[in-house]
Amino acid sequence: MPDLPFNELGFLFDDNPNPMWVYEVQSLRILKVNKAAVKHYGYTEGEFLNLTILNLREPGDVEEFNTYFKKHRLADPNSKGPSYAGIWKYKTKAGGTVYAEITSHAVTYKNQACRIVVAADATDKRRYQEDAQLKEQELIGTKNSLEALINNTDDQIWSVDTETRYVYMNQAYRSKITHITGVEPKKGDYSYLHPGYNKQSVASWQNYYKRALAGEIYNVVDESIDPDTNEVLSFEISFNPIYTSTGEIIGVGCFARNITQRLKTEQAIVDQNERLRNIASLTSHELRRPVASMLGLIAIMDRVNFFNPDNKEIIEHLLTVGNEIDEVIRLIVDKTFIGHEHRPDKYQTP
């Protein structure tokens, strides 16, 4: 290729708004630079001509450049056409860092095999890419953390589309459905059409999803039978419509929590309160009567002459009343641990 007529093509090189230079492929020495390169990198034209293109790079990037240079055979005099090298990092005279999008072309300059380089500034573009990569990594990290959190809870979480096909489900939900139905649910399956669900259950779930897809947010308590223990399991389930940014409903997000133990605890509290009410009733009614009788008998006892024959009859009555009090106390103790249904009929209260 003949020498480029730089004087005639000054508007393409000297006055080009992008930094440009020509370097000799054997020595990598810079032979010519344009005004934009001088301004952008801070070197004078004379300083540029004392540099190689490696001098414009950080020491840690030299090996990468050499690898690229050899791989793409940029020193081959038979190399034809432009070569797009992508974005590379360069350093300025002041020690700053700039990024340039490099395109080069083989030329002959001053009878030497050279390449002419267009180094379009890509600093803002590169920083944008780095910011985007950083945000993507943060999103991946957040997604992984959220995924770990979702899959490390015993609560079941899943979502369905408008056809009630599974879109997402966490491990707890997979395990629960597999345990109850014997079939592991998979993405794309209809969420309620599992073997093991009867027609009534299928109809209930169809109605649940229909309500949520109509925009309703609500909770239900649904029951399932544990196939191993035949225990009734109770689940509190929240249904939440999933909206697009335009307000269109595209599915339902569901959250289920096993509340079997909570319901048992609540029922135990109710039972305990009932027992306490019965105990209070026994104390206020059944115990008060014999105690009043005892106090009355003590009041009429001859405490001056204890051997008064009348005291014998009073003492016998006191023994009877004492037995009644003992029976009531025994019943109160029993009622602390058993339900009121075991209480003898003679102590039933209205």
HEC readout, 232-248: EEEEEEEEEEEECCCCC
Residue 2 has what pLDDT? 46
Residue 1 has what pLDDT? 43
Judged against a pLDDT cut of 70, whether residue 7 lies above it is answered with: no
Gap between the Cα atoms of 181 and 194, Å rounded: 7
Is pLDDT larger for residue 117 or for residue 82? 117
Task: Decide: residue 123, CB within 10 A, 0-12 exposed, 13-18 middle, 19+ buried.
Answer: middle
Residue 52 has what pLDDT? 96
Gap between the Cα atoms of 160 and 151, Å rounded: 18
Residue 345 has what pLDDT? 43
Judged against a pLDDT cut of 50, whether residue 283 lies above it is answered with: yes
Closest C-alpha to 237, from 304, 183, 191, 274:
191
Residue 336 has what pLDDT? 64
pLDDT tens, position by position, 19-77: 999 999 999 999 999 999 999 999 999 999 999 999 999 888 899 999 999 988 888 87
Query: In 3-state terms, what secondary structure has residue 230?
Result: coil
Res. 160 pLDDT band, cuts 50 70 90: very high
CATH annotation of 153-258: 3.30.450.20
How many beta carbons lie within 10 A of that of residue 22, not counting itself? 22
Which of 72-81, 184-193, 333-342 is most confident?
184-193
Judged against a pLDDT cut of 60, whether residue 267 lies above it is answered with: yes
Torsion angle, alpha carbons of 126, 131, 136, 141, to 10 = 130
Is residue 257 a contact partner of residue 236, using CB atoms and an 8 Å limit? yes
- The DSSP string of 24-61 is ETTT-BEEEE-HHHHHHH---HHHHTT-BGGGGS-GGG
pTM: predicted TM-score of the whole model, two decimal places:
0.47
Residue 249 has what pLDDT? 96
Average of per-residue pLDDT across 248-254: 95
Res. 128 pLDDT band, cuts 50 70 90: confident
Residue 268 has what pLDDT? 81
178 φ, ψ to 5°?
-60, -40
Average of per-residue pLDDT across 108-121: 90
CATH annotation of 10-121: 3.30.450.20
Residue 96 has what pLDDT? 92
Average of per-residue pLDDT across 144-163: 84
The mean pLDDT of the chain is 84
Residue 82 has what pLDDT? 85
pLDDT tens, position by position, 197-207: 778 888 899 99
Residue 21 has what pLDDT? 95
Gap between the Cα atoms of 153 and 168, Å rounded: 15
pLDDT tens, position by position, 82-99: 889 999 999 999 999 999
CA atoms within 13 A on the CB side of 340: 18
